[in-house]
Structure 1
Amino acid sequence: MNFSLVLMLLTVATGIIWCLDRFLWRPKRLARAKEEADRFTELNRSAIDSGEMSVIGEAQSIYQKLSAQPKWIEYTGGFFPVILFVFVIRSFLAEPFRIPSGSMLPTLHSGDFILVNKYEYGLRFPVFNFAITEGSAPKRGDVIVFKYPLDENVDFIKRVIGVPGDEIRYVDKKLYVNGKLQETTVDGTFFDKETYTDLKQFDENLDGVVHKIVENDKVPSMARPVQGHNGLNQCLYNMGDVVCRVPKDHFFVMGDNRDNSADSRYWGFVARDKIVGHAFYIWLNISDMSRIGSIH
């Protein structure tokens, strides 16, 4: 089951119990506890007036016992403030994700735990996904998390290459945006520990956003549509190359590991309302703590 749905249901359920206890059940418990303690006090007035501590203590014990919060409420409604805090942070501020593969090497490594800004592109209510605020539009070069168009139960992370109206050409491993070749500068090699492969590393200048990409010179330029491609009428394929016109309210995305990434070259475009947020920080990598820091 979708974790956002589970978290929302927990928040609602514990919130209802918390509110019922705070505004209905607790006042009744306190009133009944006071009533019973007062009744006991009146029945034992002479002993209490004479200062018998055991009787006084019994009156206090009756009040405490009857006013105490039942365990089932303590373990449900009692967690509501914590669950609400997690729900608000995760839904509207920042959500954690774990990178499962090397499609974004060398920018993101498998095992990186990242934070995703949930409000920059506009707030959306979790589960129902309706817009609360508009926010700014994703820009070329942004690293985004989104719902995979072929299976929206899966989250993908890629870099925005094209925005609505752009013409994207990927020909012989060269990237063109609106007819302009995006400059690359050789920056040595990158060793992929998962595949034990040396990859060529480049600094790519994507419309002013400089970031690193890697290519495998043993793999030819490949771009073929798969079943379920959501924009074939906007793309042309020829001998492993692709030319696409990005439609309104959609984005063209690619992985920085250009020869090992299932992205818009294969399955089409990312709709604006399917974008989860902007990835901005690596907060943990158990195998390499030096990875912690901002995402570029």
Structure 2
Amino acid sequence: MRWFEIALVVLTFASGIIWLLDKLFLAKRRATREGLLDDGDEPVLVDYAKSFFPVLAAVLMLRSFVAEPFRIPSNSMMPTLLTGDFILVNKFSYGLRLPINNAKVVAIGEPKRGDVVVFKPPHHPDQDWIKRIVGLPGDTIAYHNNQLSVNGQVMQYQPIGVYQGVANGAEMTGAEEFAEALPGRPHHVLEWTDRVMDPGEGEWVVPAGQYFVMGDNRDNSEDSRYWPMHFLPEANLRGKAFLIWLNCEGWFCTNAFDASRIGTTIK
């Protein structure tokens, strides 16, 4: 959606400049009809600029500094988030950032373990991904035998049962669902417990200013375990996911629609 962000910024500034120039110079000339062939009428371009600038400016401010909508494109965060969930992301949880370049201009808060975050992955900076933060700067993260460890403490897992997926999530039917006792943010995860070898196993020490992220769908998530650099820089964070406001598959809700997920808080 980077193209939309760029277009929104360009249109907002262009309409604002046209409106300002008209207010400072052109409107006065029209009032006295000093311009050559000037009949005193307001140009169509100025009329459009004056009409759209307040709307565009409001959308830009809300989207950049308050909340931004995203759509979940994959099953990597099942069972917490499903393909087709439309979510809202808090844009000021981790500081106010400029649109387009994502540069932080005001520091407000820091990510906490367990936060579900939207970010730009270092190896795909033109995309927006969503995962859960499991490792903070300085942490030692390990993943072995389908178990997550944080600073030497193995997370506790409570079996929930066999998962039954629907629509695009049907591929995970038969996986085991567990409640993972991540400190500060218990949540559910999915695992294929019958797999002999897990290529995502390993141990990592999180550097300063970076984070270790994982998907809740542990066997179907391209996350820090598999990245070339393994860690997410703080500068790549876009915001904290906090609410599902719609669920339907297909951009125009042409497929399944699940009204029960509307208004669900993301934990």
TM-score by length of 2: 0.88
Q: Which residue of 126, 144, 155 corresponds with 1:171?
A: 144
**Are 1:2 and 1:153, in contact at CA under 8 Å, matched by a contact in 2?**
no
Whichever residue aligns with residue 294 of structure 1, its letter is: T
Distance 2:97 2:176 in 1: 39
Distance 1:269 1:221 in 2: 23
Give the Å deviation of 1:98: 0.2
Deviations 1:195-221 (A, max 9, x none): 162221111110131111111224345
Distance 2:39 2:51 in 1: 18
Distance 1:117 1:83 in 2: 20
Rate the CA distance shift 1:211–1:196 in 2: closer, same or farther, 3 A: closer
Give me the identity figure in percent: 45
Question: Across the two proteins, how many residue pairs are aligned to each other?
Answer: 249
SS state of the match for residue 7, structure 2?
helix
Distance 1:221 1:76 in 2: 60
Residue in 1 that maps onto 2:202 = 242
Distance 1:138 1:279 in 2: 12
After TM superposition, the structure 1 stretch with the greater mean CA deviation from structure 2, 68-77 or 201-210, is: 68-77
**Are 1:191 and 1:198, in contact at CA under 8 Å, matched by a contact in 2?**
yes
Q: Which residue of 63, 66, 69 corresponds with 1:93?
A: 66
Distance 2:57 2:202 in 1: 46
Residue in 1 that maps onto 2:253 = none
Kindly report which structure 2 residues correspond to 1:35-74, keeping only aligned pairs within 5 A, or say none. Answer: 66-74=39-47
Residue in 1 that maps onto 2:258 = 288
For the aligned residue pairs, the C-alpha RMSD in angstroms reads 1.8
Residue in 1 that maps onto 2:238 = 276
TM-score by length of 1: 0.80
Kindly report which structure 2 residues correspond to 1:148-167, keeping only aligned pairs within 5 A, or say none. Answer: 148-167=121-140
Residue in 1 that maps onto 2:252 = none
**4+ residue stretches of structure 1 with deviation over 6 A?**
none
Residue in 1 that maps onto 2:20 = 19
Give the Å deviation of 1:147: 0.2
**Are 1:173 and 1:221, in contact at CA under 8 Å, matched by a contact in 2?**
no
Deviations 1:5-36 (A, max 9, x none): 22111111111011112222123222339xxx
Residue in 2 that maps onto 1:42 = none
**Are 2:189 and 2:216, in contact at CA under 8 Å, matched by a contact in 1?**
yes
Distance 1:71 1:123 in 2: 36
Distance 2:239 2:42 in 1: 41
Distance 1:101 1:254 in 2: 14
1:125 to 2:72 alignment: no
The answer for unaligned runs of 5 or more in structure 1 is 34-64, 225-240
Rate the CA distance shift 1:100–1:186 in 2: closer, same or farther, 3 A: same
1:29 to 2:30 alignment: yes
Deviations 1:56-111 (A, max 9, x none): xxxxxxxxx94442222222443111111111011111110000011000100000
Distance 1:21 1:78 in 2: 13
Residue in 1 that maps onto 2:251 = none
**Are 2:97 and 2:104, in contact at CA under 8 Å, matched by a contact in 1?**
yes
The answer for unaligned runs of 5 or more in structure 2 is 249-256
